[in-house]
Amino acid sequence: MSNAFIAFQKNDESRCIVEAILEDNPNAMVDDQPSMVKIDVPNRLVIKRETVEEKIGRSFDLQELQLHLITISGHLDETDDEFTLSWNS
């Protein structure tokens, strides 16, 4: 099984996004690196708008992720409510 991953620049907003990912992906592994954070999840990583909004305390458009993103791995599917990265293997 391969890992899907996502990396963000470290800042206040991405801290909330990472908290949301950890809540919604119980198998998530956090790799804390200088000025960036990388999160690996076996096979499928999902970011849910609702959870991010809860953590960040305001409404959130998943396209805002683009501001903090560094890199991703996996096939992406983005809707208004979920940003999903997955491997078919």
**60 DSSP assignment:** -
Our finding on whether 73 is near another protein (CB under 8 A) is yes
**Residue bearing tokens 């959870």:** 51
Per-residue interface string for the shown chain with another protein, residues 7-26, x marking contact by CB under 8 A: x-x-----------------
Our finding on whether 69 is near another protein (CB under 8 A) is yes
Whole-number Å distance between alpha carbons of 17 and 27: 16
**58 DSSP assignment:** S
- What residues make contact with another protein under the rule CB under 8 A? 2-3, 5, 7, 9, 33-36, 59, 61, 63-64, 66-80, 87-89
